[in-house]
A = this chain, B = another copy of it.
Amino acid sequence: MGSQERRARERNATRERILAAARDLFVRDGFEKVTLRRIAEAIEYTPAALYVHFEDKRALMAALCEEDFGLLREAMRTGDAIEDPVERVRAIGAAYVDFALAHPHHYTFMFMTAWPTPEEGERLDAVDETKMIRHGNPDEDAYAFLRHAVAACIEQGRFKEPYTDVGVVTQMCWASAHGVVSLFITHGHDPWVDFRSPQRSAHLLLDAVLDGMVATPRVAGAGAATPEAHS
């Protein structure tokens, strides 16, 4: 019977309707306005109905972001074709920044929300696998992607000492992009700080960092270390 499949399809459809309603509120009003009751109301359901499709609110939000963070993964592959690893890192950073600024609420949720640390008691057992994967995977992907590009830089001897630890350098690059966009998201509209274009700041910062790390800043290379490349 295809009826089972139809049921599964219907189930998935309402799941998607829930996520769509949530995304609607999320993108428009931000994280704290997304309420199970509001989501339910939007699709003319009862709040309790959402628990048929998601374990809890956090799982719902995670699923929502996981969907949209496919875009980040895809965007970061922009640099795939670039053979020069330093330029690839630069391209990845630019894509990352563009994504963050295009989806500030998602970005806030995924990269700027400190989840309650597993409280001593609840270790491997209580924290079930799906939760870990849901939360960790999307950006692990992105992280691994950046790390791979950084590793290529180091393997080719493009970075001088002491910038030869893949983990540390990856975090430095990540932090450069994250630092600019997250500051802009939280303080970009504060009146007391004259915020310029975050894109420009981020590009300049990544340029400066890479310029500071490359072994031979102004040698033939591939034009890798000329900050004027971005305006």
Contact = CB atoms under 8 A, between A and B. Distances in A.
B162 A204 contact: yes
A191 interface: yes
A116 interface: yes
A175 interface: yes
A32 B119 CA distance: 14
A143 B205 contact: no
A7 interface: no
Given A171-B195, A176-B175, A114 B185 contact: yes
Copies of this chain, how many?
2
B209 A165 contact: no
A213 interface: yes
Contacts of A191: 132, 136
Contact of A172 (B174, B201, B228): B201
B116 A30 contact: yes
Q: Which bracket fits the contact residues of A?
A: 35 or more
Count chain B CB atoms within 10 A of each CB in A137, A167, A177, A212 and give the residue with the most. A212
Interface stretch (A65-73, A82-90, A105-113): A105-113
A97 to B, nearest CB: 11
A191 B208 CA distance: 30
A136 B192 CA distance: 7
A180 to B, nearest CB: 4
The 10 closest A-B pairs by CB, nearest first: A179-B179, A212-B212, A175-B179, A208-B212, A211-B212, A136-B192, A175-B180, A140-B192, A172-B205, A178-B179
Interface of A: 30, 32, 108, 111-117, 132, 135-137, 140, 143, 161-163, 165, 167-168, 171-172, 174-180, 182-183, 185-187, 189-196, 200-202, 204-205, 207-213, 217, 227-228
9 contacts: A108-B114, A114-B186, A132-B191, A136-B190, A136-B192, A140-B193, A171-B183, A207-B212, A212-B213
